[in-house]
Structure 1
């Protein structure tokens, strides 16, 4: 069994236009630990991802000076050093993508990591972020259960506080921001189950808060304890589509449906299990605070509460 998904192709506003974003599935984890504590675990998770996707799917890497270069045996060592052996060792980052842009379709596979120190005086409430992207045809070809099993395998490597997997508008390097915003906004309004990948934008401010429910929702500490633990989750989510899988380290994987659901509001209502989990998570959802917020912060607050 497979499932049909909307085909999304967004192009940049420039001339000539280049591919900016596409449909896919994003898997992201937020880890409230110092980069030095988790870098090796993230490197192991990257090796799992590489073994799970078609050989050669990641062909380009980000350099420290902002360039994008082709991956070869020598540059893989550069990537390893970017993540594990920076001179000061307090932070690390890596970006790997299927293509640097151009052609007819933007990158479907990519990996992004940003490791931070928790005591960075320039960050409000920092967190390390790691994301793995898959084009839609990956889940259609391999099945949702395969991707769920892979997500669980990756999660077991990472000491996450929060994580999720969702059907999404995906683009490496945040290229979706180069597309016409009216098109992005229309997609998000129609499909509340559609994530807009941009996890790194929350990396300096999220701390241990949540970003809302998704197809797969990974809950670690302290968030799971704040929600009341697994028993409270079971009581709040008495739906046949929902499963809860306890994980080591007092964590849990909440699966809200058999397949990731973009939730096309032109044909259906928001499923009740999404609303129920959102209500439970509401006190711990990230929100920008203050009066007179810029429009983008106001819109972000509304979008994060879209299931309430």
Structure 2
């Protein structure tokens, strides 16, 4: 419920806003950039229509510097995304603010899976995220967020995707305030912490976890036994399942309740039974993060795995 949604701001020791509460909508596609980019561009236009005008105001250039997302900036982004030829990868970050973490952000990582450099990665993917501030959820309601996530998903050839409450930080620059992030991550297990560039390097067709909205495509959906098995294993009144056209039976959205839940452990809140049941189903197929960005604490390599499996028995 909206009354339990936390308001969070994470700042560096210098006072810079590093992260804030929000919603992340994320999709992983085990295909090459050239196969997915037109669908990603279509999804970006859907996202732009759904958010306030000029909510995306900056893009990050090749040097990592913010540039205004005016007409010239949008033409640059369009050319970068749609005219990228093999074997040049494509990394795009669009942000609400140039000097602080905003609620509206878009990130895309496009790779050519047959390009030699990716032979050293383990199951790389193309991946995309869209974020919303929590205020959007409160103002428009969870039904509007769910409808937007579904509209985005319809355009994308995803293998796995999700929508969740999250600590929103474009680019995932967690290290500058890692202690605070670690504390909030453990206090609110229902809030996602993500770094698209890292995870997309090796997630392949596996799942990242169980979420408020979980999108399953092939081959993961088949490994789970298909839609009928999911319905038998998740017989909860708050769970709904919807197949996505045009590939009926090959892509499904699992919704766990009306509102996303942060699960505040300091208030003794507990994960819902349906969230635990979905996590148990997905556990054999969970992706394990490879790099230290997620652990924050170098002396505790198991920290990463514990968090990924936080809802599993």
Q: TM range, normalised to the smaller chain?
A: over 0.9
Q: Which residue pairs with 2:25 in the alignment?
A: 27
After TM superposition, the structure 1 = structure 2 runs for residues 157-176 of structure 1, keeping only pairs within 5 Å, are: 157-176=155-174
Q: Is the 8 A contact 2:109 2:196 kept in 1?
A: no
Q: TM-score, normalised by structure 1?
A: 0.93
Q: Which residue pairs with 2:305 in the alignment?
A: 301
Q: 1:137 aligns with which of 119, 135, 138?
A: 135
SS at match of 2:120: coil
RMSD over equivalenced CA pairs, Å: 1.7
Q: 1:117 aligns with which of 112, 118, 122?
A: 112
After TM superposition, the structure 1 = structure 2 runs for residues 227-246 of structure 1, keeping only pairs within 5 Å, are: 227-246=224-243
SS at match of 1:174: coil
SS at match of 1:194: coil
After TM superposition, the structure 1 = structure 2 runs for residues 189-200 of structure 1, keeping only pairs within 5 Å, are: 189-200=186-197
Q: Is the 8 A contact 1:125 1:207 kept in 2?
A: yes
Q: Is the 8 A contact 1:35 1:90 kept in 2?
A: no
Q: 1:95 aligns with which of 93, 96, 119?
A: 93
- The gaps in structure 2 that reach 5 residues or longer are none
Q: Is the 8 A contact 1:288 1:298 kept in 2?
A: no
Q: TM-score, normalised by structure 2?
A: 0.91
Q: Is the deviation greater in 249-258 or in 78-87?
A: 78-87
Q: Deviations over 1:124-146 (max 9, x none)?
A: 21011100000000010000000
Q: Which residue pairs with 1:74 in the alignment?
A: 72
Aligned pair count reads 299
Q: Which residue pairs with 1:287 in the alignment?
A: 288
Q: For residues 288 and 75 of structure 1, what CA distance do their matches in structure 2 show?
A: 34
Q: For residues 146 and 227 of structure 2, what CA distance do their matches in structure 1 show?
A: 19
Question: How far 1:36 sits from its partner (Å)?
Answer: 0.5
Q: For residues 64 and 303 of structure 1, what CA distance do their matches in structure 2 show?
A: 33
Q: Which residue pairs with 2:274 in the alignment?
A: 273
Q: Is the 8 A contact 1:220 1:252 kept in 2?
A: yes
